[in-house]
Amino acid sequence: MDTNLALILVLTPLLGFLVNVFFGKSLGKTVSGAIGTIAVAISFVVSLLLFNQITSTGKGIEVTLFDWIQISNLKINLGFLLDQLSVLWLLFVTGIGSLIHLYSISYMHDDENMHKFFSYLNLFVFFMITLVIGSNLLVLFIGWEGVGLCSYLLIGFWHKNQDYNDAAKKAFIMNRIGDLGLLIGMFIIGSMFSTLDYATLKTAIAGASNLDSSLLSLAALCLFIGACGKSAQIPLYTWLPDAMAGPTPVSALIHAATMVTAGIFMVTRLNFVFDLATDVQSVIAIIGAITSLVAATIGLVQNDIKKVLAYSTVSQLGLMFLALGFGAYEVAVFHVITHAFFKACLFLGSGSVIHGLHGEQDMRNMGGLRKVMPITFWTMLISSLAISGVPFFSGFFSKDEILLTAFHHSIPLYVVGSVASIMTAFYMFRLMFLTFFKEFRGTEEQKHHLHESGSLITIPLIILAILATFGGLISLPGHSWLNKYLAPLFTKATEGEHHLGTTEYTLMGVAVLGGLLGILIAYVKYFKQDNVPEADENITGLSKVLYNKYYVDEVYDAVFVAPVNSLSKFFRDYIETGLSALVFALGKIANEIAFQGKKLQTGSIGLYLFVFVLGLCAIVSYIFLAQ
């Protein structure tokens, strides 16, 4: 029964993928979209069933299908582990996935390759489910690379544009850098504990007497590099903003709500490894904090509506890693969930705006959309309030938990996180004011066509806005359902349940004030004073540096890409020809000897005979003299 359920869960999206690949074109757009959506919806229903089962029994379900890879000291099964963590992830992957599929039916309706879009989306859901429910690291790795592939396909969905293809390629390659780290981490763990299976690994680590802690730290560090690639942390974050080249539903599903949280999932899954590597945990916390700050500063000045949201995603992921670094896994998971709600809503809302403006993404050409797109406006407003940490919206609770945890461990990192949060509030409301208030700044023709999107687009927005509002209820301070639910996963006692004292309330107040301050600055600057960001060429000073993302892409190009390319040219033009010439030289030497020897052959028979006799005499005299 459990096996069948798990197989239905995994294989329905795969089936949807296959149907859309082979028959999608002939089925027509609406049908192929419906098939894609239903496939994911079925998985969602199965996830609900599984969730129900797990909350009632409290035990995880293990499903082993067959032996996959045999290596001398470790045997790797193709198997699934459905426990609290994976089912939680499944719920929002398939849930939000279904909504975004529904949204895409309308959003992508004008695209000639809509069936392909749905097949890729279904394939993505298939791999994401595999990633989440794999029972060992290598099955996770199938999903891990699989979602990377889908991300590649979907970023480059409009494949006639080579810039988009570049972005897709960049995403895939940067992810692969992280994947190498993940592989190396797996190798170390495999050789240390002779298993890659989560459950066995957990008992092995618990039972191990004298662990080589430095080796384990190295493994944890390598795994974290993998997480950095997938979850867009410094130094491997630059692919995520570029990934906005893909259609907006993709940005919402893959590059905000689900795939980018895979790194957090993996770290949470292996919490027992990271708990033992305290120095790596500090690294994670520091990287997370820096990432959240750096991305937030860049987000302050971006003018592309999707770029703002992309940097906001990087920044929020940084906050999650900050929590992971302190061992507060359940806090990170909480923020993953709330973030999935409000960020998906924001992306879908921006998609609605872009759809309404026929592809316009620059906020300098928007404005005044509040009246024509009321549903989009209100849902995005709710999500912006949630992300800014305004009380009683979901983001307030989760972000507050992270900052509280940070405060208890490290004041400097708390400050960094808080500053990033204030900036978040500022740039989100900058986005809101520029997009929805004042007068419309686009062309007359665009103005003429302005309209609210259809119901297939607005319904998912409304549902996500509701979730973004009330999502915080799952982990209220002091009465956290989530912490209890996740407790069986963690070896250490959870410390998420902070005693609510004066300090806590003060910090909460500070956070709320900070958020409101950010909103206020945005209000003054973009509503009161009616500022519109400068045209690209007029941007100067610090904002220019920020607008150009600290020139990180340029630096990477100069430090990594360009040298490899010129090395390749050098190898091709000099080393290859040199080696080739060396081999030919051997032949030439033989040739030269022959050429010289040829001159001896004069053709004069008299000479030949003379040499012949001379040789005979030499041999004869040698024989006699030798004796």
Partner 1 sequence: MGNILNQIGIENYIFLSVVLFCIGIFGVLYRRNAIIVFMSIEIMLNAVNLLFVAFSTYHQDAQGQVFVFFSMAVAAAEVAVGLAILVSIFRNIGSISIDNLKNLKG
Partner 2 sequence: MNVSTILIILLIGAFVTYFSGDKLASKVALLFSLAALVCSIVLLNNYSAGENISVINSWITQPKISFALNADGLGLAMVLLTAALTPIIIFSSFGNEYKNAKAFYGLILFMAFAMTGTFLAADGLLYYIFWELALIPIYFIALIWGNGDAEERRKAVVKFFIYTLAGSLFMLTAFIYLYTKAGSFLIEDLYKLDLSACEQLWIFLAFFLAYAIKIPIIPFHTWQANVYQKAPTVGTMLLSGIMLKMGLYSVLRWQLPIAPLAAKEYMNIFIALGIAGVIYGSIVALRQKDLKKLLAYSSLAHVGLIAAGSYTLTLDGLRGAVMQMIAHGFVVVGLFFAAEVIYRRFETREIEAMGGIRTQSPKFTSMFLILVLASVALPSTFNFVGEFTVLYSLSQVNIWFAILGGTTIILGAYYMLRMFQHVMLGETNSKTFADVSLNEGISFVAIIAVLLFFGFYPKPITDLITPSLETILQVINKN
In the bound state with partner 1, the residue whose beta carbon lies nearer, of 26 and 601, is 601
In the bound state with partner 2, the residue whose beta carbon lies nearer, of 583 and 626, is 583
- How far apart are CB 576 and partner 2 at their closest, in Å? 6
- How far apart are CB 584 and partner 2 at their closest, in Å? 7
In the bound state with partner 2, the residue whose beta carbon lies nearer, of 190 and 477, is 190
448 binds, among partner 1, partner 2, none (CB under 5 to 8 A by kind): none
* Separation of alpha carbons 387 and 341, rounded Å: 10
Does the footprint of partner 1 cover residue 623 (CB under 8 A)? no
User: In 57-168, at which residue ranges do the beta strands (DSSP E only) sit?
Assistant: 61-71, 74-82
Applying CB under 8 A, among 449, 610, 618, 620 the residue interacting with partner 1 is 610
DSSP state of 532: -
For residue 258, which of 324, 308, 295, 313 has the smallest C-alpha distance? 313
* Residues 160-219 interacting with partner 2 (rule: CB under 8 A): 160, 162, 165-166, 169, 172-173, 176-177, 179-180, 183-184, 187-188, 190-191
- How far apart are CB 604 and partner 1 at their closest, in Å? 6
Per the DSSP assignment, residues forming a β-bridge with 136 are: 197
Q: Cis omega before residue 412 (within 30°)?
A: no
Does the footprint of partner 2 cover residue 141 (CB under 8 A)? yes
- How far apart are CB 610 and partner 1 at their closest, in Å? 6
Applying CB under 8 A, among 26, 56, 57, 70 the residue interacting with partner 2 is 70
Query: What values do phi and psi take at 368, rounded to 5?
Result: 70, 20
Reduced to 3 states (helix: H, G, I; strand: E, B; else coil), residue 35 is helix
Contact in structure between 78 and 121 (CB atoms under 8 Å): no
How crowded is residue 85: how many other Cβ atoms within 10 Å of its Cβ?
25
* Residues 551-570 interacting with partner 2 (rule: CB under 8 A): 564-565, 567-569
- How far apart are CB 560 and partner 1 at their closest, in Å? 58
How crowded is residue 570: how many other Cβ atoms within 10 Å of its Cβ?
12
- How far apart are CB 432 and partner 2 at their closest, in Å? 36
Q: What is the CA radius of gyration of the chain?
A: 31
Number of DSSP helices (H) and strands (E) in the chain, helices first:
27, 4
**H helix intervals, 437-501:** 444-449, 455-470, 481-486
Q: 539: part of which helix (H) or strand (E)?
A: none
DSSP state of 592: H
Query: What values do phi and psi take at 602, rounded to 5?
Result: -80, -20
Does the footprint of partner 2 cover residue 146 (CB under 8 A)? yes
How crowded is residue 620: how many other Cβ atoms within 10 Å of its Cβ?
10
Q: 480: part of which helix (H) or strand (E)?
A: strand 479-480
> How far are the Cα atoms of 8, 99, 203, 241, 420 from residue 548, in angstroms, in the given order?
46, 34, 48, 12, 19
183 binds, among partner 2, partner 1, none (CB under 5 to 8 A by kind): partner 2
| HSE-up (13 A, CA, CB side) for residue 549 | 22
605 binds, among partner 1, partner 2, none (CB under 5 to 8 A by kind): partner 1
Does the footprint of partner 1 cover residue 601 (CB under 8 A)? yes
- How far apart are CB 322 and partner 2 at their closest, in Å? 28
Q: Which stretch binds partner 2 (CB under 8 A): 29-37, 88-96, 135-143, 341-349?
A: 135-143
Applying CB under 8 A, among 207, 359, 541, 603 the residue interacting with partner 1 is 603
Phi-psi domain of 422 (left: phi exceeds 0; alpha: psi -120 through 50; beta: other): alpha
Question: For residue 523, what are the contacts with CB-CB under 8 A and spacing of at least 6?
Answer: 429, 433
Applying CB under 8 A, among 23, 470, 584, 610 the residue interacting with partner 2 is 584
Applying CB under 8 A, among 613, 618, 619, 620 the residue interacting with partner 1 is 613
Q: Which string of x and - marks every residue 113-132 that binds partner 2 (by CB under 8 A)?
A: ---x----------------
Does the footprint of partner 1 cover residue 590 (CB under 8 A)? no
For residue 260, which of 150, 368, 422 has the smallest C-alpha distance? 150
- How far apart are CB 484 and partner 2 at their closest, in Å? 35
145 binds, among partner 1, partner 2, none (CB under 5 to 8 A by kind): partner 2
Does the footprint of partner 2 cover residue 66 (CB under 8 A)? yes
- How far apart are CB 549 and partner 2 at their closest, in Å? 22
Q: Which stretch binds partner 1 (CB under 8 A): 205-213, 359-367, 412-420, 594-602?
A: 594-602
Does the footprint of partner 1 cover residue 624 (CB under 8 A)? no
**Greatest CA span in the chain, whole angstroms?**
121
Per the DSSP assignment, residues forming a β-bridge with 80 are: 63, 134
Q: Which stretch binds partner 2 (CB under 8 A): 60-68, 246-254, 267-275, 515-523?
A: 60-68
DSSP state of 494: P
609 binds, among partner 2, partner 1, none (CB under 5 to 8 A by kind): partner 1
Question: For residue 148, what are the contacts with CB-CB under 8 A and spacing of at least 6?
Answer: 171, 172, 175, 176, 179, 230
- How far apart are CB 363 and partner 2 at their closest, in Å? 29
Does the footprint of partner 1 cover residue 609 (CB under 8 A)? yes
Does the footprint of partner 1 cover residue 73 (CB under 8 A)? no
Does the footprint of partner 2 cover residue 142 (CB under 8 A)? yes
Does the footprint of partner 2 cover residue 159 (CB under 8 A)? yes
How crowded is residue 381: how many other Cβ atoms within 10 Å of its Cβ?
17
N-term to C-term CA, the chain: 98
Pairing of strands 74-82, 475-476: unpaired
> Which residues contribute to the site for partner 2 (CB under 8 A)?
21, 66-72, 78, 116, 138, 141-142, 144-146, 149, 152, 156, 159-160, 162, 165-166, 169, 172-173, 176-177, 179-180, 183-184, 187-188, 190-191, 564-565, 567-569, 571-572, 576, 579-580, 582-584, 587
> Which residues contribute to the site for partner 1 (CB under 8 A)?
598-606, 608-610, 613
